[in-house]
Each structure stands twice: as C-alpha cells, then as structure tokens.
Structure 1
C-alpha cells in the first residue's frame, strides 16, 4: 500500500492488521514531514476500512524512533518548519482519538517524535531492548508531541522527573510508571504480530505474550523521586534536592539538571503542571504555542548545534541560569498566538 511514504515508511495490510513500519534505520527512524503526512493518511484510510481491525506501528533497526529530524530543523532555522510541527501534533491527536486498537511495538530507542506516534495509542508494547526518554530540555527544547498530556498521568511524579532530567528508562520502570501497557520479549514480536494480524483482536493476544519485568529503579529511590519532584515549583524541586546534598541520587540529579537549558526547564515544569487538567487537544494547542516561540528563539538551535553539529560541545544557554528566567518570560511561551491557535 502507498500513502506517499516513499522509502521512509512502509504500509502493509496483513490479515486484519494495518502495519506501519518506519524504514529509516540509519537515521534511527527520525520522523520527517513526509512520514508524518503519510502516517496520517494511512490512519484516515484504515479507520474507515471494515477489513482493518487494528493498526500496528514498528521501526526497522535498533530504534523504534529516536525523535524528529533535528538536522532538518537546524538547517531550516532561517525559515522555521512550523507546518511540520502543526501536522505532527495533529497526527498525535489523531492517534489518541483513533477508534481502533493502535499497537506500538517498541523494541529499541523511543524518544521525542517517536513517543508521539506510539504512546498516545491504546497499547504500548515494550521489550527488554526498549529505552524511553523525553530528553528535550538538554537541547533547549521541551517535551512536546503530547508530552504535556502523557507525562502528568504517570505514577508518583515520575513524568515530572522524566521531563526535567531527560532520564532514559527501560521496560520495567515503563510498566510500573504507566508508560507501557504490555512488556513482551523481543524474540516474541514476530509471533505477536502474526497473531494480531490473524485474530484482529488486541487484548487477548497481548495477554498471551505478557512478561512481567522487574523495576529498574529501586523502591526507595522511586519514593525519593516522588517526594522531590512532587514539589509545587521548579525552585522547590531544586531546593528539595539541595537539602539532600550528599545523597548519591540527589547529587546526580542536580548535576544533570544544571546542564539543561534554564528556559526549557522552566517552560517544561509549567507545561507538565498545566497538562494535568487539560484534554489532549488542549495540550496540543498549548504545545503549539510553545514551539512557535521556541522556533523563534535561541536555545533550541544552540542545543542542536552543541549535541549534533559540534558533537559533544558545551551549549551556551541564553539566559544562563534559572534565576534569570522570569515568570513573565515563561508566561510568554503560553500566550495565545497572534495568528491563531493550532486547528484540527
């Protein structure tokens, strides 16, 4: 089947399943505009097709999808790709509202845009090879693609922790926090896909493959994370960690957070706090306001430069400290757009 995905995303009708396979393994299946539009077209088509009972999405190679195509964004900084983000956010909302089972088979790295095309679906299957992260604050950005809808719902303030630190988690923590719905051994994914396509039913099939993984984060550390990241302000989180100076976990988290973009940190805290009481659609409108401002700013491009263009160099954030980012600076990211909000 062809929905104009070219050689970057493949669409197949297998039995009762519509199957999406991202086919950019050399780029860790990073999403671009063509892939986003093709996926949206496929979902529109398959939602109406009576002989498609469910949709499965997966990636080729060692990554499910490591995010969006950051170099394309960096190279287009003179003419920011705002329409890419608009269509990507519409796709995220489309997946969240998809009326049939939408099953993501995550067998490797899943970050950024990859999270947006997987974790808003009904079933999130993670293997022992899966690594989830929303590391955007480290490149002067923020957890978008519905991060403001996904992260606040995680147990024990785990979403705030993930958003502010960019920590990678595996299938055990993903299950216990609520990110994953079904842990499945990597070696069983082929048989799982075959059975889904044959039966056209998700719950019963997935139950047969469920494997219970252990938590990767010890319970005592988990409880500390819940306490520290349950503070009512970003300054409160920093203060809570600083009060525990000498604690290995607290010291490590402080060191990590102090390398992130101060603006991104403040915006991300506010975004996650706001997302708790918003619908997916309202979250996407909020995120579109934020991304429109960040594409016109400094830190996002500086973060890409440091991480990808000049690999491993130190970013120079503007402003350089959290104390220099005022409440009014943060509020400006969330203000209505002069040209109007994202439409669906």
Structure 2
C-alpha cells in the first residue's frame, strides 16, 4: 500500500499524506512515491498547480522515519541509509526547483522532513495549530532537509536558535520569520483548500489572508545570544551567565539536554550553509548524515526519544566542552 493519495481536477494535482499512525513521517515509499508523482506532474500540461495536504488532523508531517534509519544503522546497512537520505534530499531539491506553484497546507506538526517538503515550495500556508521545529539535536542527529540553507537565511540568530535548541514555533511566528507565507485560521483552511481545488486563482483563494502577522518571539534576545558562527560553548556560557533570566535558563536547559556532538555539528553546518547554495547544502548534509548515523549518539538519542521513550539519553561525550573538533570536522566533511 502507499501512504500517499493523489487526485487531479481543475488543473490542480493534490498529494495527500496519509500515514496517520506515524504522523505522516516519511518512509522510503513515501519519498519515492512523491518524487515519482511530482516528476510526472511537472511535465503534465493538464496540471498547473500542486497542493500538498495531510489526512491527519494532528500533523502535516512529523519528519523522517528515524526509527527505521536507526534499525538500519544498528544492522550496519549503510547502503539503505544512503538511499533514504539521498532520496529525501533529492525530493527536497525537486520541490525547491519545481516548475509550477507548489502549495503546502500545514495545520499541525511540521518538523524535520515535513519542512523539507514544504519550506522549499512556493507557498506555505499555516494555521494556529501549526507546530514547526527542527528538533534533531535531541536525537543525536542534525537539522537537515536543506535547513542548513534556509535556517541561516532567517532573521539574525533565529536559525542558530532553532537548530541548536530544537525550539518550537507556531504558525504566526513562522510567517513573521519567513518560514511560511500565509496565515489562515484553522476554521478557514478547508475553504481555502477547496477554492484551490476548484481552480480559483491563488491570489483569489488567499485574498483575505495577506495581512502581515506579528510574533511574540524575543527576537532581540535571540539575535544577541545565538549569532551565526558563534561557538556553542560560548552560547551556552552566555545563557548561563544571564542569572535570573527565565528565557535564558530555558534555552540553556534545551542546549544541555541535546547531544553535544550534534549541537557542534549543527553550528558548523549552519555557518557553512550561509555561504552555500541549496544543492551544496544538501550534498554536505548527505555526507554528514552518513557519518553521524553510525555514531553512538544517534542510536542512543533515537532510543531515548522514539523507542524506549524514557527521554533520558546518555551522550558520548556528555558535554560541549568535551566534543572533539576532529570528529565534528569528519562529520561535516571539512
């Protein structure tokens, strides 16, 4: 069976993500099926617009099928790991270069791989239910799917903040930061989707939802404490030095809970990505994915968060101070 469904009508091709038990986490079949369909539709003159939606009320797409990747890593099946990430990143590149309007409707969780199949598209429509994050450092991995390209291009400090802490943001925040293009109340989303399916022009379908949105995120603090290119050890020290600041305490706790190696790798990848094309970032991410999935932290992080769910990983090394720069350089490919 396939975990995606498709429909075509009124010059609109719709891809419906339909793996609700896994919150639409992308397995190999979903990646392959989406890639095939998008290639076909890209050359089909009868299709002018692509719409990507979810059959689950809880999630757009919660990420990649990390549990299966861990299983392959433990079995030493590096070929399967490479195939998965090469396919996923190829799909992300296809979305970024798609020759027709590509619209993602996000009314729920969109994390990791879910951003890969949305952020790179032309329109990203979010609601108040949207929950957006790149939480990979918490499982011994790193923000991928081209995020090392798009995170450094967000407002000052935001990319490092999201990447190093796994912080979660809501729909209006995503629009304000540039990760999404339109904010639509959840109660109105079905109507917007139906107008698009009925062939209404995108300008008409979204005419009521072009007002700018605001965010309550502490952008000044984020820019101050998470500048691109900063050493994560220094970032953590700065947060810990802000005695009595509740937000800084919370961010320090998030940093310390994550894999130190993953945090260091993420900082290096984001710095490199700021000066790279999307294709270069995806190539670098593929190398890093192949390297980091064979480290102890990856197996341990996925175990703690997704397998045993005890949320108590044992990282190696245990602190940022102990991370070996040579290991980071090997993973990043420097």
- TM-score (ref. length: structure 1): 0.91
Matched residues in 1 for 2:307 and 2:68: separation? Answer: 12
* Alignment counterpart, residue 22 of structure 2, candidates 15, 20, 27: 27
Matched residues in 2 for 1:170 and 1:250: separation? Answer: 20
Alignment of 1:156-175 (within 5 A): 156-175=156-175
Matched residues in 1 for 2:307 and 2:294: separation? Answer: 19
- 1:204 Cα shift? 4.1
CA contact (8 A) 1:28 1:66 kept: yes
1:244-268 CA-to-partner distances (Å, cap 9, x unmatched) read 1221111111111101000000000
Structure 2 match to 1:226: 223
Matched residues in 1 for 2:42 and 2:311: separation? Answer: 46
**CA shift in 2, pair 1:60/1:281, >3 Å:** same
Structure 1 match to 2:12: 17
CA contact (8 A) 2:53 2:60 kept: yes
Structure 2 match to 1:133: 133
1:311-332 CA-to-partner distances (Å, cap 9, x unmatched) read 1241111111111112222111
* Alignment counterpart, residue 45 of structure 1, candidates 40, 45, 56: 40
Alignment of 1:97-116 (within 5 A): 97-116=97-116
- 1:243 Cα shift? 2.5
- 1:295 Cα shift? 1.8
Matched residues in 2 for 1:235 and 1:42: separation? Answer: 45
Question: Secondary structure of the residue that 2:13 maps to in structure 1?
Answer: strand
- 1:111 Cα shift? 0.5
1:17-44 CA-to-partner distances (Å, cap 9, x unmatched) read 1100110111101110010011011111
Question: 5+ residue gaps in structure 2?
Answer: none
**CA shift in 2, pair 1:235/1:183, >3 Å:** same
- 1:211 Cα shift? 5.8
**CA shift in 2, pair 1:285/1:200, >3 Å:** farther
Matched residues in 1 for 2:227 and 2:215: separation? Answer: 20
Length, aligned pairs only: 328
CA contact (8 A) 2:2 2:30 kept: no
107-116 vs 204-213, greater mean Cα deviation: 204-213
CA contact (8 A) 2:61 2:114 kept: yes
Structure 1 match to 2:288: 290
1:160-187 CA-to-partner distances (Å, cap 9, x unmatched) read 1011111110012111111111011112
Structure 2 match to 1:342: none
Structure 1 match to 2:49: 54
Alignment of 1:154-303 (within 5 A): 154-199=154-199, 201-210=201-210, 212-217=212-217, 221-230=218-227, 232-303=230-301
1:14-71 CA-to-partner distances (Å, cap 9, x unmatched) read 2111100110111101110010011011111111111211111111111001111122
1:62-120 CA-to-partner distances (Å, cap 9, x unmatched) read 10011111221222221142201110010001100001111000000011111111111
Structure 1 match to 2:70: 74
CA contact (8 A) 1:20 1:56 kept: yes
Matched residues in 2 for 1:41 and 1:60: separation? Answer: 20
Matched residues in 2 for 1:181 and 1:196: separation? Answer: 16
Matched residues in 1 for 2:171 and 2:157: separation? Answer: 18
Two-structure CA RMSD over aligned residues (Å): 1.5
- 1:213 Cα shift? 4.4
Matched residues in 2 for 1:47 and 1:202: separation? Answer: 18
CA contact (8 A) 2:14 2:52 kept: yes
Structure 2 match to 1:152: 152
CA contact (8 A) 2:141 2:293 kept: no
Matched residues in 2 for 1:226 and 1:139: separation? Answer: 25
CA contact (8 A) 2:2 2:29 kept: no
- TM-score (ref. length: structure 2): 0.94
